Structure 1
Amino acid sequence: MSTMRIAVAGTGGLAREIAREIHESTSYQLLILSRSPPPDLLSQGYQCQVVDYTDSSSIQHSLMGVDSIISTVTGNAQLLLIEAAVACRVRRFAPAEFEGQPGLRAQGDPLDRGRAAALALLQHYRAYIQSTVFVCGILYERFSVGGMRSHSIGVNTGYSNEGDYILDARNMTATVPGYDSVGNLSFLCMTSARDVARFVVRSLDLPSWPQELSMCGERMSVSTLINTVQACRGRVFNSAVWQNPQGLQYELTLAQMAGDVPRQRRTSTLIATAEGRYDFVAPAFLNAQFPDIQPLTFQVWFANNWGAVP
């Protein structure tokens, strides 16, 4: 299996982390699928294939000889990629998920971005192609200087800017989804994009993929998250509004009445957090499977990321 051909669809920040890990840590053949291959990847010697996600024949041509696909593209492009993968007899497909457990998403979820349709299509073709969902909780990069956007991650999600999720570490303000609907502390699992890449690439060695493959850098309560950021910044939040799902739902209703779509999306992520959609209590499968991978803790990651920011 040392010559197995792996395709990574997309060239955003997470796709690049996964591609780099494959390139540097394995002997697998790596192919990056892109609408327009970035010059920097080409100059670094990565094999990139131009693909037109509106043309099935173009996609199928790109997938000849590919064993497994790791997708970071969403929407109709991903659906056509799945269809082409089945037609080309690709063995395994990992859709663009990389968050919480899909089973906890409500029908018609405003944060779905076509992911439910992709999972339904993979289920339809389950006799022909193996698939898994990589469950990693929240990416640390949501709390990065410049937000996820600065890492070219989740640019089109509507909550990729600095301060879009839970807290604004620069101005020390926060809307904290600190409690669930019955008053218990809300928890979330988080992982750095770098560690996600390490676990994803190691999973390529598994003889088969279960329906989900979970990983976790650190699990903590939202209140601990707030305290950790305060400790790293050496500052107390100027404003921290604590909310439960009912209060957040009211905020969502106001955003809907105002037609404020960005606010709706940001509030929906907070509701999802309070409802526990980014939390999984059981030990993460990939952490147990590969104990030699020691994920970065959130405190260390955050201190490194914000250390030079006044």
Structure 2
Amino acid sequence: MMRIAIAGSGGLAHFIAYYIHEETRHETLFLSRIPKPQLAAQGHQVQVVDYNDPESLLFALRGIDTVISTVTGPPQLQLIRAAVQIGVRRFAPAEFDGPPSLRPNPDPLDRGQAAALAWLAHHRNSIQSTVFVCGILYERFQQGGLAQSRIGLSSGVAGEGDYIMDIRNMSAQVPVWMADNSYATVCLTAAHDVGRFVAKAIDLPQWPAELRMCGERVTVNTLVQLVQQLKGTTFNPIQWHNPASLRSALILAVSQHDVPEQWRLQNLIATSAGRFDFVQPNLNAQFPAIQPLRFDDWLSRNWELQ
């Protein structure tokens, strides 16, 4: 039995902790900036930490084998430093996105991930690490958006309708084409399936550089058509974009100092560049008993379309 520290207490951390508790014999410990009596009431261990206080982190990480982080920026860097210092065996940084190799440099969507990966690479002889790659979370398209599940609150696209489709009002900005005029493709995964795969990965004897999972891989065009079919109506208005039109829209948003629109457009640009598309999801292959939820089934349940 190992002790697993989960940094953060948002929705994704909850999914991961739930499946570690239900499907493994390991203990979990939430690292939180503030007390979480509701988690304690559910039987979870919670340690309040101050990410600006190294001693607080070192105390919290005593006896911890693996850290799974859902916090970004300077707090995550401090957590990595403490984990290395106290001898934590493995660390999974807050990724849960597309493959890092597909990101531009500099990355307009970076929230400290590049620095965290650089730190872990620097300390690779002291601590093992992996990047959990899942593409786009289904929850971007749920009622209330990512924020409803308390995921990605600092991402700039956590609200309902912030990414590609506003399903409630049936409007859309669709990054349908890539630079070579082929259809843009995305990999998508439900957050609870991310939790299931991460829980299984805990017991792998070695972690490769990336552990990939995917619920469904589809073109953005197919995704839009599927939503229209399930809703029984078409998006109106709908804007079809290629990289050039998205860059033009971004220039306008910058000139108007429209920061929320800039975040939305940067995510669409990343989609049209193929950042959320990948093949060979090794976790799916490693754990074939996990049958990820299909996007159409998930959407029908979330929006009560059945």
Taking structure 2 as the reference length, what is the TM-score of the superposition? 0.98
Unaligned regions of 5+ residues in structure 2, if any?
none
| Equivalence map 1:46-125=2 (5 Å) | 46-125=44-123
Residue type of the partner of 1:131? S
- Residues 149-204 of structure 1 show CA distances to partners (whole Å, capped at 9, x for unaligned) of 00000111111000000000011010000000010001000000000000011001
Q: Secondary structure at the match of 1:199?
A: helix
| In the alignment, structure 1 residue 297 sits paired with structure 2 residue 294 | yes
Confirm or deny: 8 A CA contact 2:136 2:276 kept in the other structure: yes
Unaligned regions of 5+ residues in structure 1, if any?
none
- Residues 79-118 of structure 1 show CA distances to partners (whole Å, capped at 9, x for unaligned) of 0000000001000000000000111111121211011000
- Cα offset, 1:308, TM superposition: 6.3
Q: Secondary structure at the match of 2:5?
A: strand
Q: Secondary structure at the match of 1:220?
A: strand
Confirm or deny: 8 A CA contact 2:173 2:238 kept in the other structure: yes
For the residues of structure 1 that align with 2:89 and 2:6, how far apart are their CA atoms? 14
Q: Secondary structure at the match of 1:188?
A: strand
Q: Secondary structure at the match of 2:197?
A: helix
- Residues 113-143 of structure 1 show CA distances to partners (whole Å, capped at 9, x for unaligned) of 0110000000110110000000000000000
For the residues of structure 2 that align with 1:132 and 1:91, how far apart are their CA atoms? 12
Q: Secondary structure at the match of 2:188?
A: strand
Alignment-derived partner of residue 212 in structure 1: 210
Deviates more, 1:253-262 or 1:92-101: 253-262
**Moved >3 Å (runs of 4+):** none
For the residues of structure 2 that align with 1:199 and 1:129, how far apart are their CA atoms? 21
% same residue: 56
Alignment-derived partner of residue 286 in structure 1: 283
Confirm or deny: 8 A CA contact 2:138 2:189 kept in the other structure: yes
Aligned residues: 306
| In the alignment, structure 1 residue 306 sits paired with structure 2 residue 289 | no
Alignment-derived partner of residue 246 in structure 1: 244
- Residues 7-46 of structure 1 show CA distances to partners (whole Å, capped at 9, x for unaligned) of 0000000001001111111110111100113221111110
Alignment-derived partner of residue 32 in structure 1: 30
